[in-house]
């Protein structure tokens, strides 16, 4: 099973009635981030696999469609299992996925995709509660087939207790305890196509800031045993921590301009919009010494953000944009730097020494953007098998991360993924096209 920890959902404010009673209700922040870190032991068919960790990160935006009903969209990253070594490392990603769901003020959730993994959790009663009060509510858990894209939904039940107030890291908090058992009730017909049985339990402590009434942390102690249709049995036991943080919006136009200016000669700014005159062909491009009027923005202007742009769309508009050392442009996830002239030893994840000055300049540039997550994407030409392309592109992305860390950037700011021959910029039947397709992209995330 592709184990994805399911508590990654709650992010908002809570409304207090008075010192004795509290009315808990979601009021989602306009933008928020959640980071989920799980540490657990794992046994596969009774064989101890070690003590491993996982991380899931999500960045979300919410819009109140009607009073107490929020439409939430965002991006979440699912990391692979990594042996725990006590060091914060860059995380290899299994995939980057979109979130799109609706949640009301009591926690009830409606979603069509695979996120959130836990729906209707936590749920709150419609009446105020006092310390010691208990309530129960249903919840749903999405499960995954380890051998196919098939998913199913387990229908579960959760019990809650409001324990009152406490102090967490010198901050007064409200404390809620939640407990639920993981069982196969068989309501979804796909469940039997994935598992034979599942047994488990979760005990979750939720801490909510008394002053801001926003969530601070959730700690989930759990144990689970999954028995799959093929007879494989996997056991997990450990804990899961979820941290909630508000997001300071990114000034995309300013960041686009500063990255191009900061890099200097060899960087080009590719803008989403065509010439204001509507002329066909090349869209406006600003070099290091130019201003960038009219650059498309997200979060800095009025109205809905423009649709995301891809490197392929920009390359089709003007291939010369990707002939410079660095192309800076806006993506849905944030602001991207495409490293177009980074050279590797053929079929290896080894950067040629001649490109170390390029890496020096990129590292210096990224240090001017502190705090935000950096997503590194590796691409290859469409040559060889898809499996070899994916492996090579991920190894190259990881090498770039390692080089950035050597130059003083924090390892835990990075996540990386290999995308093989996806999203080609050029024709793979020509040497020039294959050159364009061999690239690494670093995205400064909107988190």
CATH number for position 330: 3.30.1330.60
CA dihedral sign, ordered 302, 304, 309, 313: negative
Do 47 and 110 have their domain in common? Answer: yes
Question: Which residues does residue 293 pair with via DSSP β-bridges, in sequence order?
Answer: none
* Secondary structure letter of residue 86 according to DSSP: S
pLDDT of residue 315: 85
**Whether 155 and 257 share a structural domain:** no
pLDDT of residue 294: 28
Structure tokens, 194: 């994935």
Among 189, 192, 165, 186, which residue's Cα sits nearest to residue 176? 165
Residues 275 and 237 in one domain: no
Residue 145 confidence (pLDDT) above 70: yes
- Does residue 226 share a domain with residue 92? yes
Average pLDDT, the chain: 83
Give the pLDDT score at 181: 97
Residue 133 belongs to some domain of the structure: yes
Would you say residue 401 has pLDDT above 60? yes
Q: Tell me, yes or no, whether 2 lies in a domain.
A: no
Q: How far apart are CA 79 and CA 54, in angstroms?
A: 6
Residue 314 lies in a domain: yes
In this structure, of 186-190, 311-315, 318-322, the range with the lowest mean pLDDT score is 186-190
Q: Is the pLDDT of residue 295 over 80?
A: no
Whether 195 is in a domain gets the answer yes
The last residue of a domain, from among 217, 246, 275: 246
Considering only 71-85, 89-103, 170-184, 428-442, which range has the smallest mean pLDDT? Answer: 71-85
| CATH number of domain containing 174 | 2.30.230
Q: What confidence score (pLDDT) does residue 336 get?
A: 93
Domain that holds residue 416: 252-445
List own/partner pairs for 57-60 with CB under 8 A and 24 or more apart: 57/33, 57/373, 57/415, 57/447, 58/8, 58/33, 58/34, 58/99, 58/115, 59/31, 59/32, 59/33, 59/247, 59/445, 59/446, 59/447, 60/11, 60/31, 60/32, 60/33, 60/34, 60/99
Q: How many domains in the chain? A: 2
The answer to the question of residue 124 being in a domain is yes
Structure tokens at 150: 């098939």
Position 279 pLDDT exceeds 50: no
Q: Is 220 exposed, middle or buried (0-12, 13-18, 19+ CB in 10 A)?
A: buried
Same domain, 71 and 109: yes
Mean pLDDT of 158-173: 94
Q: Same domain, yes or no, for 194 and 100?
A: yes
pLDDT in the model for residue 323: 86
pLDDT tens-digit profile of 303-317?
A: 444 556 788 888 888
Clarify whether residues 242 and 343 are in a common domain.
no
Q: What is the pLDDT of residues 411-427, one digit of tens each?
A: 888 889 898 988 888 88
- On the question of a cis peptide bond just before residue 361, with omega within 30 degrees of 0, the verdict is no
Mean local confidence (pLDDT), 26-46 = 85
Do residues 270 and 210 share a domain?
Answer: no
Q: Is the pLDDT of residue 67 over 80?
A: yes
Q: Are 269 and 247 in contact (CB under 8 A)?
A: no
435 vs 205, more confident: 205
User: Pick from 197, 220, 246: which residue ends a domain?
Assistant: 246
Angle between helix 356-366 and helix 252-263 axes, rounded to 10 deg: 150
Q: Are 162 and 259 members of one domain?
A: no
Domain boundary among 246, 279, 299: 246
Taking the whole predicted model, whether its pTM rises above 0.85 is answered as no
- Cis link prior to 122 (omega < 30° from 0)? yes
CB 285 within 8 A of CB 433: no
Whether 5 maps to a domain, the answer reads no
Residue 7, domain member (yes or no)? no
pLDDT above 90: percentage of residues in the chain: 45
Best CA proximity match to 243, nearest among 89, 446, 56, 105: 56
Domain assignment present for 166: yes
User: In this structure, are 316 and 351 located in the same domain?
Assistant: yes
Instruction: For residues 229-241, give the mean pLDDT.
Output: 94
SS3 150: coil
**What is the model's pLDDT at position 302?**
34
333, 229: one domain: no
Residues 56 and 171 occupy one common structural domain: yes
Q: Tell which wins on pLDDT, 78 or 387.
A: 387
- As a whole number, mean pLDDT of residues 125-141 equals 95
């Amino acid at each position: 099973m592709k184990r994805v920890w399911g508590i990654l959902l709650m992010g908002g404010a809570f409304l207090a009635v008075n010192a004795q009673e509290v009315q808990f209700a979601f009021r989602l922040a306009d933008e928020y981030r959640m980071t989920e870190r799980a540490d657990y032991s794992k046994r596969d068919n009774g064989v101890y696999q070690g003590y491993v960790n996982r991380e899931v990160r999500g960045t979300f935006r919410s819009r109140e469609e009607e009073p107490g009903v929020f439409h939430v969209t965002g991006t979440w990253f699912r990391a692979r299992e990594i042996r725990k070594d006590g060091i914060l490392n860059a995380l290899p990603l299994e995939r980057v996925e979109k979130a799109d769901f609706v949640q009301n003020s009591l926690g009830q959730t409606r979603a069509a995709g695979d996120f959130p993994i836990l729906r209707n959790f936590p749920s709150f009663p419609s009446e105020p509660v006092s310390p010691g009060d208990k309530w129960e509510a249903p919840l749903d858990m999405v499960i995954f087939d380890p051998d196919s894209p098939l998913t199913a939904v387990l229908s579960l039940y959760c019990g809650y207790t409001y324990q009152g107030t406490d102090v967490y890291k010198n901050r007064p908090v409200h404390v809620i305890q939640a407990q639920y058992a993981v069982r196969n009730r068989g309501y979804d017909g796909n469940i039997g196509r994935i598992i034979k049985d599942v047994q488990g339990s979760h005990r979750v402590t939720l801490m909510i800031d008394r002053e801001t009434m926003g969530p601070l942390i959730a700690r989930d102690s759990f144990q689970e045993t999954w028995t799959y249709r093929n007879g494989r049995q996997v056991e997990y036991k450990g804990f899961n921590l979820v941290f909630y943080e508000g997001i300071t919006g990114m000034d995309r136009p300013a960041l686009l301009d500063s990255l191009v200016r900061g890099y200097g000669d060899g960087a080009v700014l590719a803008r989403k919009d065509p010439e204001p005159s509507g002329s066909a062909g090349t869209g406006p491009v600003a070099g290091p010494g130019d201003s960038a009027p009219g650059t498309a923005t997200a979060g800095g202007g009025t109205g809905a953000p423009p649709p995301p742009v891809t490197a392929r769309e920009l390359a089709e508009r003007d291939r010369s944009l990707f002939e410079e050392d660095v192309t800076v442009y806006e993506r849905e996830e944030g602001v991207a730097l495409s490293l177009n002239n980074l050279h590797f030893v053929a079929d290896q994840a080894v950067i040629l020494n001649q490109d170390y000055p390029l890496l020096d300049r990129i590292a210096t540039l990224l240090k001017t953007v502190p705090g935000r997550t950096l997503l590194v994407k590796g691409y290859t030409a469409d040559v060889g098998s898809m499996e070899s392309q994916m492996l090579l592109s991920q190894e190259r992305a990881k090498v770039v991360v390692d080089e950035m860390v050597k130059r003083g950037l924090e390892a835990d700011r990075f996540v990386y993924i290999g995308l093989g021959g996806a999203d080609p910029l050029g024709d793979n039947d020509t040497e020039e096209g294959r050159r364009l397709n061999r690239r690494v992209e670093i995205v400064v995330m909107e988190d």
